[in-house]
Amino acid sequence: MNDRIRELRKVLNLSQREFAEKIGLKQNAISYMEKNGSTVTEQNIKTICSQFSVNENWLRTGSGKMLLENEKKQKEFFDVFDELSPVLQDYLIKTAKDLLDTQAKLQFNNDKT
C-alpha cells in the first residue's frame, strides 16, 4: 500500500507536504509511510479515498482503477460551485441546463442520420 500512496501522490502532482495537509497529517508522516512502510491506519485510508476520490480496493490491494473518475469530477465541480457567488451559481445552473438541451438536440440529429 505504501508504494501506491507514493504513486497516487505523484499522479496528483502533490508534494509530500501538500498531500499531508489535505489529509490532516504532517509531511514526515507521509515520508515515513512511503519510505519505511509504516502501517497506514483505517482512518488514513478512508481519508485518502474520500479526499482524492480513490478506489479503496486499489489503495488496499492494487486491483482496479486508481481513481473513481466520476466521483472525482463531481467533487471538483461542487468545490468550484461552492466558491461561486449565488448569482454565478444560478448562471452556472442555467448554462448546464442549456448544455443538456444542446446535447439532446445533437443526439436527436445523430439518431436521424
32 versus 113: the higher-pLDDT residue is: 32
Three-class secondary structure of residue 54 per DSSP? strand
Residues 6+ apart with CB under 8 A from 63: 57
User: pTM here?
Assistant: 0.62
Dist CA 96 CA 98 (whole Å): 5
24-73 pLDDT, tens digit each: 999 999 999 998 766 789 999 999 999 998 999 999 999 999 988 777 78
pLDDT band at 112 (very low <50, low <70, confident <90, very high): low
111: pLDDT strictly greater than 80: no
With residues binned 3-state (H G I as helix, E B as strand, rest as coil), the percentages for the chain, rounded to 5, are 75, 0, 20
pLDDT (0 to 100) of residue 55? 94
- May I ask the CATH architecture of the domain 2-61? Orthogonal Bundle (1.10)
